[in-house]
Chain A
C-alpha cells in the first residue's frame, strides 16, 4: 500500500516541528527517515500513524493507496507500529501481547479462539519465539522483546508498518542481526515500511530509499548510494559521514592556509573544501599539486582499515584519514610521524543551497 503525504506541517505551540512537506512512498517500499534528534523525523512517523495530528490550518492530506486517512483515528488506520522501547504490555504473556490486536476486534470481525491461536503461533514461529509464548516480557532479552513487538504489530496484517528507532536500544551485534532479519521479513511479506533512525549506517544499509531530515525539513530523498555519492547539500554530506575541512584563500588557482597549499581550479577568494576520510591519501613527500604537511597523533585499526588522526598548525581541528592496512604498513605509520596529505577528491558547497561540486584529482 503506497503512502502519500501532501502539504503536511506540524507546530507544537510556537515551535515548528515540521515545515510543510510532501512525501510519496511506493507500495512495498522500505523507507528510512534519517536525521539528528529534533529534525522532525519521529513527528513525521507519528503523523503517518495518526498518533499526532498535522496542523489543521493547512489543507494537508494523508493517503494510504486511494484511501484518505487524514481524519481517520489511529485505531482505524490499519497500521502496525513498533515503539522505540517496545511498549509491550508487561502484565500479559508473549502470546497475549501478540494476540491483543485480534482479540480487540469487534465481535463481528473477530476470528475464533482457535484461529487466533493458530495465527499467533504462526507469528511467533516467524519471529522465532514459539517457545517463549508463555513468558512475560520482563523475562525476555531486548532483542526478543523487539521481535514480540514486531509480531504484535504484524498480527492484524497492517497495510503499513511503522517503526520508531526500532533498534536504538539494542547492542551492536543484536542490532546487525535484527536489521538483516527485518529486511528479509519485509521482502518476504511485501508490506510498506517506514522506520525512523538517527544512525546513518542503519539507514543506508536497510532502506530502499532514505529521507534525510533536519530542522523539520526534508533535505534529500534518494537511494542510499546516490545519497552518499551525490549529497544534495552540505547538511546531508556532513550527516552521512566524517568530514575533514580545509579553509583558505584562493589566488591564481592555489589555495593557501598557513604554510599549506593545494592547487584548485576555483575563482579567487575565500573557499572551504570538504573531504571524507577515505578521500585522503597519505604520502611521504609533497606532490606537485599540494603541500599539506601533517603530524600523526594516533592510528587505530578498525576492521579492514586503519583510522589515522592528523594535526597541523594550519588546521583548526584534527583530520581523520582511513588507509588500507597495506598502506599503513608500507608507510610505517606511527605516532609523531610527519607525513603529507593529498586529497583524491574534494567537495564544495556554496553558501546558497547549491549542489555538491566534486572535483576528482588525478595524480
Chain B
C-alpha cells in the first residue's frame, strides 16, 4: 500500500478530490476480485512439470475439443459479421415501422440467460422440435451436431458486431456518401471502397469479440451439443468434466490454454485497433 501513499502524495496538485479514495478502492477490488483468483491458477499449475502440462493439454480428446470449439466459434463469428453488418446498416440507414422493436431485439442474447437460450435452441432444433421437424426432411440435422454448437455460439454473440458497427455508421457524415456519389460511384462500389473501410476497425473488433465470447461459451452450447467426446464436446465442457472428476490440475491446465488464447486475442484486437485509428488521425490519436 506504500505505492498508494506515494501516489496520493501528489493529490494536493490534483484539482478534483477523491483520487486517493477511488484509487484505493479500485486497486483493492481489482486485486481481490480479479487478480488474486487468477494467481490461484498459476499456483495450481506450478506443481506440474512442463512435460506433464504438455501431456494434459495435448491429450487427444482435448485437442479434438479445441478443434470443435475454434471451428464452431469461427463460423459463428463470420456469420455474425455478415448478419451484424446487415443489421447495423438497416437500423442506421433506413426508417421503417417496427424499427425500434427490431433494434431492442438485438440485445436479447445478452439479456437472456445462456442456459435459457441453450434449452430453447436445443428444444427447437431437436428432431422433435419445431425447427428440427422442418429441417429434417431436407437432410439438415442441427441439434447434437457441430452445426448446433455454431448456432448456439452465434446466438449468444449476436450483439457484438451490431453494437460496435452501429455507432460508427451513425457518426459517418452524410458528406462521405455524397462525395462518393458526386464522383459517380455506384452503390456497391461506394459501399466497398468508401463505407466499408470506415467500418473495418469496428467490424473486426466486433467479430473478434464475438469469437472470443464463443470460445468460452458454455451454458448455451452444452444443451444443443450432445457432448459426444471427439465429436461435439467443447473445451469449456472438458474443463467442467475434469472438475466433476475432481481433477483440478487437469481442469486448470486446459483452462490456462483457454484463458491465454482469449487474453492474447483481446490484447491483439486492442493493439490493432490502436494502430488503425492512429493512421486515420495522422499519428495524433
The docked-state distance in angstroms from the alpha carbon of A104 to that of B281 is 25
Give 27 A-B contacts (CB < 8 Å), ordered by A residue. A49-B182, A51-B181, A73-B181, A74-B178, A75-B183, A75-B184, A76-B184, A77-B182, A81-B178, A81-B182, A83-B175, A84-B175, A87-B173, A89-B176, A89-B180, A91-B197, A91-B200, A91-B279, A91-B280, A100-B185, A104-B190, A104-B193, A136-B280, A136-B282, A138-B280, A138-B284, A139-B283
Q: How far is the CA of A160 from the CA of B282 in the complex (A)?
A: 32
Chain A 79-114 against B: per-residue CB contact (8 Å), 1 yes, 0 no?
111011101111110000000110011000000000
List the A residue with the shortest CB-CB distance to B198: A91
Contact B178–A83 (Cβ < 8 Å): yes
List, in ascending order, chain B residues with CB within 8 A of A83's CB.
175, 178-179
**Does B22 reach chain A (CB closer than 8 Å)?**
no
| Cβ–Cβ < 8 Å partners of A100 in chain B | 180, 183, 185, 193
Closest B residue, CB atoms, query A51: B178
Whether A75 and B282, one on each chain, are in contact in the complex, defined by CB atoms closer than 8 angstroms, is no
User: Chain B residues in contact with chain A, CB under 8 A?
Assistant: 173, 175-176, 178-186, 189-190, 193-194, 197-198, 200, 279-284
A147 within 8 Å of B (CB atoms)? no
Return chain B residues, CB-CB under 8 Å to A87: 173, 175-176, 178-179
**Nearest-CB residue, chain A, relative to B173:** A87
Nearest to A96 among chain B residues (CB) is: B193
Q: How far, in Å, is A137 (CB) from chain B's closest CB?
A: 8
Q: B184 — which chain A residues lie within 8 A by C-beta?
A: 75-76, 101, 104-105, 156
- Residue in A73, A84, A138, A153 whose Cβ sees the most chain B Cβ within 10 Å: A138
The complex places the Cα of A77 from the Cα of B181 at a distance, in Å, of 10
CA distance A155 to B284 in the complex (A): 30
Total contacts A-B at CB 8 Å: 81
Question: Across the interface, which residues of A come within 8 angstroms of B279, CB to CB?
Answer: 91, 136, 138
The answer to whether A152 has its CB under 8 Å from any CB of chain B is yes
Q: Is the interface of A mostly helix, strand, loop or mixed?
A: loop
The answer for the CA separation of A89 and B178 in the assembled complex, in Å, is 11
Q: Which residue of B lies closest to A164 (CB)?
A: B175
Determine the distance from Cα of A139 to Cα of B282 in the docked complex, in whole angstroms.
5
**Of A80, A84, A85, A90, which contacts B198 at CB under 8 A?**
A90
Contacts of B283 in A (CB 8 A): 138-139
Could you tell me the distance between the alpha carbons of A137 and B176 in the complex, rounded to whole angstroms?
A: 14
Interface residues of A in 6-57 (CB under 8 A from B): 49, 51
Once the chains are docked, how many angstroms separate the CA of A136 from the CA of B279?
Answer: 8
Q: In the complex where A87-B173, A91-B197 touch, is A75 in contact with B179 (Cβ < 8 A)?
A: no
Contact assessment for A74 and B175 in the assembled complex, using a CB-CB cutoff below 8 Å: no
**Contact partner of A75 among B175, B182, B197, B280, CB < 8 A?**
B182
Closest approach, in angstroms, between the C-beta of B38 and any C-beta of chain A?
A: 38
Q: Which range holds the interface residue count of chain A?
A: 20 to 34
A49 and B178 alpha carbons, distance in the complex (Å): 10
Q: Mark A125-146, 1 if CB is under 8 A from B, else 0.
A: 0000000000011110000000
Residue from B173, B185, B200 in contact with A104 in the complex, judged by beta carbons closer than 8 Å: B185
**B198 x A101 contact (CB < 8 A):** no
Query: Which residues of chain B have C-beta atoms less than 8 A from A155's C-beta?
Result: 183
**A-B residue pairs, 10 tightest by C-beta:** A138-B282, A87-B175, A101-B183, A81-B182, A87-B179, A91-B197, A104-B185, A139-B282, A83-B175, A75-B184
Within the complex, the shortest CB–CB distance from A279 to chain B, in Å, comes to 42
Residues of chain A with a CB closer than 8 A to B282's CB: 136-139
- The smallest beta-carbon distance between B197 and chain A, in angstroms, is 4
Residues of B within 8 A of A88 (CB): 179
Residues on A with beta carbons closer than 8 Å to the beta carbon of B186: 75, 104
Question: Could you tell me the distance between the alpha carbons of A51 and B179 in the complex, rounded to whole angstroms?
Answer: 10
B179 and chain A: residue at smallest CB distance: A87
CB of A3 to closest CB in B, whole Å: 16
| A346–B14 CA distance with the chains assembled, in angstroms | 61
State the CA gap A100–B252 with chains docked (Å).
Answer: 54
Residue of A with least CB distance to B197: A91
How many angstroms from the CA of A139 to the CA of B197 in the assembled complex? 18
Q: How far is the CB of A299 from chain B (nearest CB, A)?
A: 43
**19 more A-B residue pairs beyond the given contacts A91-B200, A100-B185, A101-B185, with a C-beta to C-beta distance below 8 A:** A51-B182, A75-B185, A83-B178, A87-B173, A87-B179, A89-B176, A89-B179, A89-B180, A89-B194, A89-B197, A90-B198, A91-B197, A91-B280, A100-B183, A104-B180, A104-B183, A138-B280, A138-B283, A152-B183
